Amino acid sequence: MAASVLKPVPDEAPHILVVDDDRRLRDLLARFLGDHGYRVTTAANAADADNRLGHLVFDAMVLDVMMPGENGFDFARRLRKSSQVPILMLTARADSNDRINGLEIGVDDYLSKPFEPRELILRLGNVLKRNAQPEAPSAPMRPDYVRFGPFIYGLARGELRQGEESIRLTEREREILTTLAERAGEHVPREQLANQGSAANDRTIDVQINRLRRKIERDPADPLYLQTVRGIGYRLVVDRT
């Protein structure tokens, strides 16, 4: 099946790969995204998507979970071993365990079917913004970066580094870490962290905090930097500069 770019759009427009075995929905998504200024290529399954990824560069992927052959979870898990392309996952399931499973794999955001098309546009735009955030002047009183142990986190770009190594963060991890860094040393209520993103519940925040700890803590069970404030939320302990 040939790649399908639905309508002429500027070359600099974000290029989205839509992966869904439902041809009708795939075509509707492609047309809708094209109408909103995106370049769109479609794939019917994981093997088809592999072929697209081997020849084209994408700014983000809209990925269905329930596909014949390799499902969306397995494909995303395999893809994360070689690619950091942002993934917005679609599913007909409403089970919170599916959302948590996707987040643990490294999916950037999650949208349950049926969904409002406008919500898809908003979530996709947010994923793209977080993963390709242009450099901008810092807001008043906002630090350019924070340092904790061997790590430096730049707030403008949402970039976490350990020496010369860049540590990959998902969209939600950037949101959480940025909020904690902006209020470094302060107690940040978990409700504030939850209300930022797509899955505003305690279990999801705990999953994200645990994933962050595995990336920055020597012993995630006894964290030095990303600490729990019992009964309130979390705080990020940073070095004085």
Q: Which of 153, 146, 157 is nearest to 185 (CA)?
A: 146
What is the extent of the structural domain holding 180?
Answer: 145-236
| Total domains in the fold of the chain | 2
Q: How high is the pLDDT of residue 5? A: 44
Q: Tens digits of per-residue pLDDT, 162-184?
A: 988 999 999 889 999 999 999 88
Q: Would residue 8 count as lying in a domain?
A: no
Three-class SS state of 108 = coil
Q: In the chain, which residue ranges form alpha helices assigned H by DSSP?
A: 23-35, 46-55, 72-79, 96-105, 117-131, 171-182, 190-194, 202-216
Average pLDDT over residues 39-68: 93
Residues 95 and 152 in one domain: no
Q: How high is the pLDDT of residue 196? A: 53
Output the average pLDDT for the chain. 84
Q: How high is the pLDDT of residue 232? A: 87
Q: How high is the pLDDT of residue 98? A: 66
Residues 149 and 197 in one domain: yes
Residues 20 and 126 in one domain: yes
Residues 125 and 30 in one domain: yes
Inter-residue long-range contacts of 187-195, CB under 8 Å, 24+ positions, other chains counted: 187/229, 187/232, 187/233, 187/234, 187/235, 188/233, 188/234, 188/235, 189/232, 189/233, 190/232, 190/233, 190/234, 191/233, 192/233, 193/233, 193/234
Contacts of 171 (CB under 8 A, 6+ apart): 86, 108, 109, 126, 127, 130, 131, 197
Residues 84 and 179 in one domain: no
Q: Would residue 214 count as lying in a domain?
A: yes
Q: Tens digits of per-residue pLDDT, 85-109?
A: 999 998 876 666 666 777 778 888 8
Q: Would residue 40 count as lying in a domain?
A: yes
Residues 154 and 119 in one domain: no
Q: Would residue 10 count as lying in a domain?
A: no
Kind of pairing between the strands at 188-189 and 233-236: antiparallel
Q: Would residue 1 count as lying in a domain?
A: no
Residues 25 and 120 in one domain: yes
CATH assignment of the domain containing 171 = 1.10.10.10
Straight-line distance from the first to the last Cα atom of the chain, in angstroms, rounded to the nearest whole number: 56
Q: Would residue 140 count as lying in a domain?
A: no
Is residue 150 predicted with pLDDT exceeding 70?
yes
